[in-house]
Amino acid sequence: MALPDKLLVANRGEIALRIIRSAKLLGIQTVAIYTESEQEAGYMMLADERISLGVDDLSATFLNIDKIIEIAVATGSKAIHPGYGFLSENPDFAVACKKHHIIFVGPEPEVLRLMGNKPDAKKMAANLGIPVVASHRLEPGSDLSGLSIEFPVLIKASFGGGGKGMKLVYNPEELEEQVKRSSRMALEYFGNGELFVEQYIRNARHVEVQIMGDKFGNVIHLNERECSIQRNHQKIVEEAPAIFLSQELREKLLSNAVKIGKSVNYTGAGTVEFLVDEAGNYFFMEMNPRIQVEHAVTEQITGIDIVSEQLKVASGFPLSLSQQQVIVAGHAIEIRVYAENPANEFRPSSDPLLSINLPLHHPDIRIEADLQNKQHTGNSFDPLLLKLIARGKDRKSAIKLLRESIRDLNIIGPGNNVKYMEMILAHDLYWQNLISVEFCGTYHKELIRYDKAEMDPEILPYLIALAIEKSYLESDCEKVADVWKYTGYWRLSSTVIPIAIDDKNYKVRLTSRDRSMPSFLVNGIVTNFLIECKSEDCMAVTINNATKGIYYHMTDQGEIRISLGNIQHRITLPRLLKSYPETAKRSESGAIAESNDIISPLYGKILEVFIKENQLIKVGDPLLVIESMKSENHILSHRDARVKKIATKVGAQVTDRMPLIYLED
């Protein structure tokens, strides 16, 4: 019995990086696979070998079983770790590994097949005497009018997860249409359009139990996690332990999770998921037979390296610890940072990452990320940017540390949910632990109010000061200590500068030539300021003895992109932008498209087109669906018009700002 000498990681991003790190600690060489757009990713640099999958879409790369097995054989890899997503729950992949005498780091194919079919998994749990939520399998073409189930119901994909294809339906009248949409989405993401409907439990809390099993019949739990903070039925905040549970209820969940694991001779890491209603009743929901995105919070409170344990168990070793040796200490919380716009139905953002500043090192802060500046998030992968995990002696101290760290997390480029996460952590009901899976939906307007707010009058002068320094001075922080020893400012033909901040125009008059305390006038107020360079992408701006660190990025078009307080700002100087033909052209074409035609708001793939040429449409009519980063985006008409021409079709790949539909009055 020995560990494999070489491991192929059949995944990408932060989970690939995580697996490679644990493998290296065990002395295992690693092989990374990648698409051409990610050849400089961090996980690629850490791996011992790197093999390209090409430039095609997922079906030909990370979902191509034959190609991945071929690479494993060619590189002499004795094992494959699938991570999460992609092929991690595919029984055919596990069978292919076994056929080629390659260790599959996960459970047996028959377990994947059983747990991958959610209705069958629920039936198995019910046979073990474990409560399950009432549900019905939807057979193709079945009559939906006779469903004997209480509304509202959740439509779910039988062979999927992550909220994809899931839809909450409140009455029978809308069920048929939503079933069609969910089935199409399930087929797109999971290769199988089979669905089932499940009775919806109002104000439920989502609790999951981490289990580990070996090939000797040993199955243990590593305690539980709570994952009730979700948007679009997908988890965004996870914490461990779930302190709302009574000890009696906790013991029931833990013992039932182990019972399920033992009943199927489970090997490796897996998660058994439950819903708990307001009365304290619990129901088995599903089992994920793989490592979870949120495994880090369990590692933080137990000190157990789950990935290392996976690799050992898959190699034939028994579990390295007993149930009695699993000790929980402290509380851990994880937030998922996504490239998305919470104020716009969480639409994913495919803008490139221009700059990122991570929180300073802290022994109780853990960051799981694989990011490089100017990296393009693309449209094939999940929009997850990073995970930020904080550990404290209790829940309140973990929240406090996480809130302090998130303030130091500044991302410039893609729209993101960092400020949204900050608002969740600051919410009184979250602080009091009075939450459920409906929290984000119920308090959505509160959580995004920062997006609707007017420019903070205290923030505006800081942005103007930075714009003056970066756009009208020839600054070079490394060479000159005093940023006012430059010629640009003094050679201006006019002391009035037009500055646009977030598309709002300001006329700024430079009022002082005192280099020790420069100043400007805007909105009738004179502001004195000082600027100091903190780093290559951060300036310290001081106004009235109050200093703010502002992270910025200068684009090739002369635009200044800023992150301040986890809110992004865009500064343009119209007089300067005229010297950039490509910028003027883009702006002009964008204005035409936005006023007359339908342009793509993001990179993606056309899934559905609802209209035809010459059709009359009204404001709010659905036009088409674009899939991007595992999310469906429904594009609606912004005006009454006639469809002059449709410039795309189902299956077509589209880019940001590409014209899709031409309209006429």
Contact 650, 609 (CB under 8 A): yes
* Contact call for residues 215 and 154 (beta carbons, < 8 A): no
380: which 2 tokens? 């094939």
* CA distances in angstroms from 126 to 34, 130, 172, 255, 266, listed in the order given: 41, 5, 27, 15, 18
Cα 196 from Cα 183, distance rounded (Å)? 10
The one catalytic residue among 12, 113, 231, 290: 290
- Report the SS3 class of residue 312: helix
Largest Cα–Cα separation, the chain: 83
Bin 141: left if φ > 0, else alpha if -120 < ψ < 50, else beta: left
DSSP string, 426-481: H-HHHHTT---TTHHHHTHHHHTHHHHSPPPTTTHHHHHHHHHHHHHS---TTT-S
- Residue 608 C-alpha from the chain's centroid: 24
Dihedral (Cα; 537, 421, 464, 516), 10-degree rounding = -60
Instruction: Identify whether the C-beta of residue 510 lies closer than 8 Å to the C-beta of residue 498.
Output: no
DSSP code, position 330: S
Q: Is 290 known to be catalytic?
A: yes
Q: Cβ of 94: how many Cβ atoms within 10 Å? A: 27
Q: Are 100 and 49 in contact (CB under 8 A)?
A: no
Q: Are strands 29-35 and 6-9 parallel, antiparallel or unpaired?
A: parallel
Question: How many residues in total does the chain contain?
Answer: 665
H or E segment at 340?
A: strand 340-341
Cα–Cα nearest to 213, from 271, 265, 289, 260: 265
CA-derived radius of gyration, the chain: 27
Residue labelled with tokens 């400089």: 40
Cα separation, 20 vs 370, whole angstroms: 12
Task: Report d(CA 241, CA 631) in Å as an integer.
Answer: 30
Question: Which tokens belong to 136?
Answer: 């019905």
The enclosing H or E element of 583 equals helix 581-596
H or E element, residue 595: helix 581-596
- Backbone torsions φ then ψ of 184, nearest 5 degrees: -60, -45
Beta carbons of 628 and 658 less than 8 angstroms apart: no
Q: Contacts from 531-540 at CB under 8 Å and sequence distance 24+?
A: 531/465, 531/466, 531/469, 531/483, 532/483, 533/475, 533/477, 533/483, 536/477, 537/355, 537/357, 538/357, 539/466, 539/469, 539/470
Inter-residue contact 110 to 91 (CB < 8 Å): yes
- Annotated catalytic residues are 290
